[in-house]
Structure 1
Amino acid sequence: MKPDFVLLVSCVDRKGLVAAIATSISAQDCNIVESAQFDDAVTGRFFMRVAFTAPPGMTVERFDEAFLSVGSAYGIDWKVFDLSVKVRALVMVSKGGHCLNDLLYRTATRYLPMEVTSVVSNHTTWQRRVEHEGIPFHHLPITPETKAEQEARLLALIEEQRVDLVILARYMQVLSDATCRVLEGRVINIHHSSLPAFKGAMPYHRAYERGVKMVGATAHYVTPDLDEGPIIAQDVSMVDHADTVDDLIAQGQETESRVLTRAVKAHCEHRVMLNGHRTIVFK
């Protein structure tokens, strides 16, 4: 049975907490179809994700109102999501299109429960590909001198399109600290695992020269601390001594695409919760 809503809960752990949450959901004539929880022994915080079906006419506002008494009694921070409402995502890309292509395909096949409102790029490389999908494409070139103006235009697009999530699909520009703060918790980035060992241009070539035995990727939320935001997903593939630089690049790009899609899917299904600088990703 597919759920209609998802409830995310975080609070200090207390006896009777789970029972109180379940009772409140049941009292609203809702039925729990999926539940996962985590008790962080280090911080003493409790985290829970509950997916449930609901009777006709149920809304986020109606559920919140009925859940308020339990939430207040147990000091719960909670949020409810209506799964019939798709996440509105804006994708940013530069010249490398492997992650973009995977996101477009996974969205078209409904593997990713999101709507791509537009694609923004500082190049026109993928304009025809994007417009072929019927998705608006915005070319926002950038230089050090125009960075503030370009990001102001980006933020205006995000506001205009009511964007919930920004996906940096190998967008090779660093967002300013101010923009990162405005979009806190709403931007997912992907980068190869050769960081920080092989920074800068041609990282796979440098990794090949050092004889690395695996290539991987990390997807994380963006913060003002470059490539140090809370990690959502990671993966690696093994490298053979006979692999060429092109083999490494192909493996790396495939891994980047897979990891980014995994992170985006978890976010869109409301499976990710922040726990300080770490994440809890419910399966």
Structure 2
Amino acid sequence: MPHSDISLPRLIAHRGLSARAPENTLTAVREAKRAGCDWVELDVQLLGDGTPVIWHDNGVRRCSNSRGKLVKLTLDKARALDVGSWFHKDYAGERMATLEEMLALIGSLDMGLNLELKVNQGRSGQALVEAALPMALQALPADQLIVSCFDAQTLGAARALQRDAELLRIGLLYDKLPADWQRQAERLDAFSLHLNWRKLKKNNARTIKDAGYALFCYTPNDPVAFHPTWEWGVDGVISDDPSLFTHYLPDA
């Protein structure tokens, strides 16, 4: 059942403040808070030794000083990576964050978290849910956590782990809204839908809102181009730099 009476964030920092700091890092989250953003979106997946870490890609080449697949790394090897200097020399020495570390930081900053369960090819969504979800549910209040994923089977595992929709808010992630979205939302007792803003249609947005679900759009970074979309009933944006939107928010 939809839960439209809950307060929703207008602005969520995508992978932390990823326009100004290396994505999915502790520093990116601190920068988001410093910029006035109270919610962040982050990716979680498992290392080869089963440790849940905050990371997007299936490998480390793009966002570190090394290369290789995440599934091949132990925590010790992951800790040896520099995951900041690729972005800027000022961030040299930044280390990959574990989910445990990140949750502690978010809790200390009193922030909300949209945690995306990132199931890359060949990885187990069930294993990720079992490792990451109990930790997140224990660390953060229910109204400061949304768990999202592109994979419906993984979300099904999440809902099986916590069947109370008031205690676990599930977000359905889509690139383009499928015809059977409402059946999936009802089956998972979903809270929100998270859609690619460039592929969102006005009639679909209004259908989602009329059905009582929260609606978030990723990843708009041009507040002027996005501005008309607010009129469709969008609740919030997941942006690389949410501060750009401060003066372009719809009237409350």
TM bracket, shorter-chain basis? 0.3 to 0.5
Structure with the larger helix share: 2
Q: Taking CA–CA contacts closer than 8 Å with sequence separation of 6 or more, which of the two structures ends up with the larger relative contact order?
A: 2
Q: Larger C-alpha radius of gyration, 1 or 2?
A: 1
- TM-score, normalised to structure 1's length? 0.30
